[in-house]
Amino acid sequence: MLKRIGRVVFLVVLLLPGFAFAGNTADEARQKAGEAAEKWLALIDRGEYGKSWESAAGYFKGAVTKKQWEQAAAAVRSPLGKVISRTLSSKQYATSLPGAPDGEYVVIQFETAFEKKKSSVETITPMKEKDGTWRVSGYFIK
């Protein structure tokens, strides 16, 4: 019995560094994805929808053309007016999302107040691309 307990303890000790690494990976992902999201949102806030499409993830670009994105973003954002405040409410690391290929994602939500819509939730989803760069793959306002 003592030998078996020793093996279990040994296995747990071996696995602990892996769990610590996974946590660090998720923390680093949340930080880098958050930075990418803020830069991307700055483009959207300035009405630079074409530039936001250019800096988006390949997955995003494959789903919508630049012209389609510019039209859709202008139709949704312009009526809201300028951003009054934006407060981070959550950042969730994921490796699988519905309708998207497996990979590394961070789903970020902000509570945002616009000039003409005082209470909304912006959801922005950066993904880690093959080159290691975090780029936005999705954006939604509710």
Alpha-carbon distance values, 128 to 13, 32, 88, 98, 99 (Å): 30, 9, 20, 16, 16
Residue 127's nearest CA partner among 38, 25, 56 is 56
Please state the rounded mean pLDDT for residues 122-135: 96
Alpha-carbon distance values, 137 to 18, 40, 98 (Å): 28, 11, 13
First to last CA, the chain: 58
Please state the rounded mean pLDDT for residues 22-46: 90
The token pair at 46 is: 């300035």
Q: Which domain holds residue 134?
A: 2-141
List the CATH number of the domain containing 88. 3.10.450.100
pTM: 0.80
101 in Cβ contact with 57 (< 8 Å): no
Q: Give residue 10's pLDDT.
A: 29
Confidence of residue 24 (pLDDT cuts 50, 70, 90): low
**Per the structure, how many domains does the chain have?**
1
Q: What is the pLDDT of residues 95-120, one digit of tens each?
A: 999 988 999 999 999 999 999 999 99
